[in-house]
Amino acid sequence: MTCYEAARTMRGFLQPALKTVPTETQLAFAKLSRHRRTHLAEAAQTTLVKASQWSRGEAVAAAVADALEKQVSAHLAKKKG
């Protein structure tokens, strides 16, 4: 394949599209108000930007993901009961 042929082919041709699939906890976090998301991010010792990236299913550090998972789960349990 020449450089010209590579430029002419569709992007993603013969490769599956990569789509992130957020978990239920990530979707629940995304539905919260900005104020609540900020508080949960601070409790998890991270920034709102990193927390928002996590909620979209993007790659973040494992420690950040675990901390956010715990904080959101605790918030949802508190909200239910």
Q: In the block, which residue shows the tokens 């998972």? A: 69
Residue among 70, 67, 49 at smallest CA distance from 58: 49
Give me the pLDDT at residue 2, please. Answer: 57
Q: Give dist(CA 46, CA 13) in Å, integer.
A: 37
pLDDT in tens, 20-49: 889 999 999 999 999 999 999 999 999 999
On average, the pLDDT of the chain sits at: 87
Per residue in 47-65, pLDDT (tens digit) is 999 999 999 999 999 999 9
Q: What's the rounded Cα separation, in Å, for the pair 71 and 48?
A: 13
pTM for the complete prediction? 0.76
- Rounded CA-CA distance 80/40 in Å is 17
pLDDT at 11: 61
Binned at pLDDT 50, 70 and 90, residue 18 comes out as confident
Listed in order, strand segments (DSSP E) in 1-81 are none
